[in-house]
A and B are shown apart, each in its own frame.
Chain A
Amino acid sequence: MLVPVFGNAIAAEELMNPVAPAFKKSLADAALNSATRAGASYCDVRIGRYLNQFITTRNLNVENIVNTESSGVGVRVIANGAYGFASTNDMSPDGVANAARQAVAIARANARLQTEALQMAPVQGVGEVSWATPYTRDWRTVPIKEKADMLIAANKAGLDAGASFMESRLFQVNQQKYFASTDGSYIDQDIHRLWAPLTATAVDKATNKFRTRDSLAAPVGMGFEYFDARPEHKVQAAGGVTTLYTRSYDLIGDARAAGRQAREKLGAKSVEPGKYDLVLSPEHLFLTIHESVGHPTELDRVLGYEANYAGTSFASLDKWRTKKFKFGSERVNFIADKTTPGSLGAVGYDDEGVPAKRWDIIKDGILVNYQATRDQAHIIGEKESHGCSYADSWNSVQFQRMPNVSLAAGKKRLTPDEMVKDVKKGIYILGRGSYSIDQQRYNFQFGGQLYFEIRNGKITGPLEDVAYQSNTQEFWNACSAICDERDWRMGGSFFDGKGQPSQVSAVSHGSSTTRFNGVNVINTARKIG
């Protein structure tokens, strides 16, 4: 199989040689000077070297191993009050200067359609600085054999435990990003991310049914030490129904559980539709947070800039302006941040050179803020950007992307087992499943990976065919209990899509196990009339 890869494949030893900052600075200056001479009132330059390694396996076979590198320069300008962007992989002073001139020409062509000039929130130039993801074991130095052996061992464990088929993959990302702007910043960043998704499939040919169970682990912004599978990083789910993971992951152990649980799902009881109290683990809730809180509080959606693709938002400015819009119950607090160690969104600076920070989005249940970039901050009365600008490649233009958006832990001591004890008729849900949500991020439906029935304070057995339906405001106002910080951990989305041309970004969402009262549950296997 000839697999097209987006970047240059390179030998492992070459991955370790970063481009010298002095070279990047000289290249950036060539673009900044060219843009300024061509009439730009503002210019930023992003010099990127994006390294990836992807390993895909199926059962006991390694299907593919690919090392990629992609390098180039993206230049964004403001000229005549409008944006222009051009990119090139010609990393010579002439090449980047030409890209800068093209960007200015594009800005001028667009300026005649601009109703009002762009207004950028000020950012203080920081001079020459650097930032790197903290890690103790660099994925680039881990032998390919060790990684392949780990994935195959995981697949074997799943097959031995009852799966008919196993698939596992390893995504490893290193973004070497250099940002420079006419504001006087030269920022060198070295960002690392990992994700090891797996799927166990169990088939019953006699009944023509099949069930899958995906990984319960999170993608992370850290090094290969994530796969150390340290005993102190394993936690038991409520009722001991499965093992969950915090700061390191036992891929093989999770695969073994996945194989067994996929087989068990074939015989699980089909859910009776109705109202249930839901107990949602962080491994599940992160996706509901992402879709129903993260996306609707993106300011570009709120303003209509994503109306033609990703959608708009029910969380409109008029609701926010009342300072009383009850997004959730009083125990619901959402914090946006780009700083949590180990998270996918953690950086030193965003792609507009704004330092990473934390801020409140929902405070005591009230919508208090959004996620903004430099050109949006003035719209919500902010004096500076939230630092939410991101581009997925040197040849993509940066725009507003979601920071980590997390549900704060409960303030009273409460464990998942204690939470279950108070539930008379409920369902405990773990893992991310299929979902659907409307273009305003309001009406939705979510499934999961594992479902367990709760009766009179006890987990009585597995369920299948479960999905819950609600709308965002009703759902978060039904939040009745949140476990304390001992249970708080992050899940995440490695390939969150948005924008035209479409770009991906990686973002984490933390929470503790959380309870929602009286949520409508449907049976997804039921046929309508």
Chain B
Amino acid sequence: MKDIGLITSVSIRNNLRSNIIVAVLIAVVLICAISLVLAFCLLAIAPAMKTEIPDRHTLEMFLSVTIYGACLIGLGINMNVFAQTMMREKSRGNITALLATPLKASHIWTGKSLAVFLPGLVLGEYILRSQDRLSD
């Protein structure tokens, strides 16, 4: 566990400095913001289109779907970033150097994976909790 923690923390720090995590966060936040703007635009044009203004339940449903959608797209971006990080580290010899140390290969892969997915999971959790609070 200590080795996994070490690899994760160093990789997160390294990813932060290369702005990978920032790019993921910006992408997810942008998707959420665009979805919300779209939702309010729909609400705004609904009277003009002489359609029925959605009730609170329908709005909540819409919000849930957009936020879950944003999280899913974020996850997709995360997976892409993970693949790119692995490829970059492989071509620069970072992975080879780690594999030549006494660390177990499984610990290296787990640590590297956590470094990319953990920030996304934390953000996803935060967005879902925020949505719950909004609904309440």
| A and B associate in one complex | no
Taking Cβ atoms with an 8 Å cutoff, the residues of B that contact A are none
Using a CB–CB cutoff of 8 Å, the interface residues on chain A facing chain B are none
